[in-house]
A and B are shown apart, each in its own frame.
Chain A
Amino acid sequence: MAITFKEVSYIYQPDTPFEFQALQKITTQIKDESFTALIGHTGSGKSTFLQHLDALLKPTSGTVLIGDTAITHETSNKHLRLLRKRVGIVFQFPEKQLFADTVEKDIAFGPENFGSSPEQAAQIARQMLKLVKLPEDILNRSPFELSGGQMRRVAIAGVLALQPEVLVLDEPTAGLDPKGRQEMMHLFAELQKREHLTIVLVTHQMEDVANYADQVIVMEHGKIVKEGTPRYVFADVKWLRDKQLDVPASTEFAFEMQKRGFLFDQLPLTEAELADDIADMFKARGKRNE
Chain B
Amino acid sequence: MSNVLELVRTSQLKTGLPEINPGDTVRVHVRIVEGSKERVQVFEGTVIRTRKSGVDQSVTVRRLSGQIGVERTFLVNSPRIDKFDVVRRGDVRRAALYYLRKRTGKSARIKEKRTPQLASKA
Do A and B bind? no
Could you list which residues of chain A lie within 8 angstroms of chain B, going by C-beta atoms?
none
